[in-house]
Amino acid sequence: MADVGLQNVVAQEKAEKPTLNASPELGAWLKEVGGSLAFTTYQSGRLFLASPAEDGQTLALERVMGAAMGLAVGDDFFWVANQQQAWRFTNVGAQKIGKQDFDAIYMPRKGYFLGGCDAHDILADVTFQGEKHELLFVNTHFSCIAAIDNHHNFRPIWKPDFVSEISMGDRCHLNGMCAKDGELAYATLCGRSDTAIGWKPMKSDGGCVVDIATNEIVCEGLSMPHSPRWHNGKLWLLNSGVGDFGYVDFETKKFVTVGMCPGFARGLCFVGDYAVIGVSKLRDNAFASGLSIVERLETQHIRQTCGLLVIDPRDGSLVHWLTIDGAVTELYDVAFLPNVQRPFTPGFNEPQLHRALFSVPETAFSVTLPEFTPSTIEDSK
């Protein structure tokens, strides 16, 4: 695959750099759909923002975020969770930084320390049982879905009915959730176990999807399912241990495969008529033991891939792609930033930008903000 000019728009700290390559039309497609992609890299602790360039190429901004996992996007913000924290980044508007024009500047504005919850999927501004929640997260270590709490580490709001108590131990590897029409609706887990790490012997075929409102199992026989998403009247998800993308047939309670992924699929969003899927390389340890995707990739001589796939769910065909080589081998989540074609965030490791990129609401007081000059960017390189 040829490098089509995917580049970092701002220099990062001196560390091994991942190499990103994109399909020739990915940038043009992002421009056509009018947005950008955000994706997290889990074990290498990065957040990437991929956006279209004027010349049709694809740009990428990289930021270190800890063990970055779940993403949730709103009209003027996004949330990113790592295993112990959740951070809200707010779009403070367009601004010129150095010689670059950005149409959205995402600044960290609020953070919560969750503790050892191993947060996976997150949802923002979602309702459950009549209560609107600023943020919900899958609390994998405690086998529940939890809400943010201003006093406690978390407030559990739902658990599978077979889990007898809220306690640390990752009993069923609850990992994914989604909303339907703004209401918390479905969850994925890897095995119906009520003992610590009891899901692992079931990981090859013990996974299922749960209707949160009724506790009914609506799909079973899955292998480490991830990323349930409601779209166009269907519940889509990734049957990760097999490497399949598809949807739930509610009548048969079976998974219907639409396409195969060249790796461990995890992270899913929809952009118009297309699905964007994150894929990871298999870990070189016991994690992949017993998963059918291992044999499938080997027997079909499929090269493992880390990156993004843009799939047409109508026929499962691959339309666009992005691959990552080097320090990044796993992705967790992917989200679409609509109406944002040149996003920027300083993350946490650019103190010069945090001093310069101030945002203050209109008040009766006169406020003088620091000037921002191109040298600030140059000094951070």
Q: What is 239-301 written as a DSSP string? A: ETTTTEEEEEETTTTEEEEEEE-SSEEEEEEEETTEEEEEEEPPPSSGGGTT-HHHHHHHHTT
Residue 22 in tokens? 């994109």
pLDDT band at 55 (very low <50, low <70, confident <90, very high): confident
In a domain, 359, yes or no: yes
Cα–Cα distances (Å) from 157 to 23, 130, 141, 200, 219, in that order, read: 42, 12, 15, 25, 22
CA distance 316 to 347: 35
Has residue 284 got a pLDDT over 80?
no
pLDDT band at 5 (very low <50, low <70, confident <90, very high): very low
In a domain, 324, yes or no: yes
**pLDDT tens per residue, range 170-208:** 999 999 999 999 999 999 999 999 999 999 999 999 999
In a domain, 371, yes or no: yes
In a domain, 1, yes or no: no
Which residues fall within 8 angstroms of residue 35, CB to CB, at 6 or more apart? Answer: 271, 336, 337, 338, 339, 340, 341
In a domain, 135, yes or no: yes
**pLDDT tens per residue, range 227-253:** 999 999 999 999 999 999 999 999 999
Number of domains in the chain: 1
In a domain, 329, yes or no: yes
Which domain covers residue 176, as residue numbers?
Answer: 7-379
The CATH number that applies at residue 142 is 2.120.10.30
Instruction: Please say whether the dihedral angle defined by the alpha carbons of residues 254, 184, 151 and 46, taken in this order, is positive or negative.
Output: positive
pLDDT band at 290 (very low <50, low <70, confident <90, very high): confident
pLDDT band at 354 (very low <50, low <70, confident <90, very high): low
Q: Name the least confident of 162-176, 195-209, 367-381.
A: 367-381
CA distance 37 to 78: 12
Does the pTM surpass 0.95? The reply is no
Report the percentage of the chain scoring pLDDT > 70: 87
Integer Rg of the chain from CA: 21
In a domain, 2, yes or no: no
Helix H or strand E encompassing 310? strand 307-312
pLDDT band at 45 (very low <50, low <70, confident <90, very high): confident
Residue 76: the pLDDT is: 94
DSSP state of 370: P
- What's the gap between Cα 245 and its chain centre? 16
Taking phi over 0 as left and psi of -120 to 50 as alpha, with beta for the rest, 111 belongs to beta
What average pLDDT does the segment 247-274 reach?
96
**Selected residue with higher pLDDT from 158 and 54:** 158
What does the buried/exposed string (b/e) look like for 270-293 if buried means 16 or more CB atoms within 10 Å of the residue's CB?
Answer: ebeebbbbbbbbbeeeeebeebeb
What average pLDDT does the segment 329-340 reach?
96
Residue 52: the pLDDT is: 94
Has residue 39 got a pLDDT over 60?
yes
What average pLDDT does the segment 205-226 reach?
97
In a domain, 292, yes or no: yes
CB 274 within 8 A of CB 314: no
Mean residue pLDDT across the chain: 88
Instruction: Please say whether the dihedral angle defined by the alpha carbons of residues 284, 287, 293 and 295, taken in this order, is positive or negative.
Output: positive
Residue 193: the pLDDT is: 97
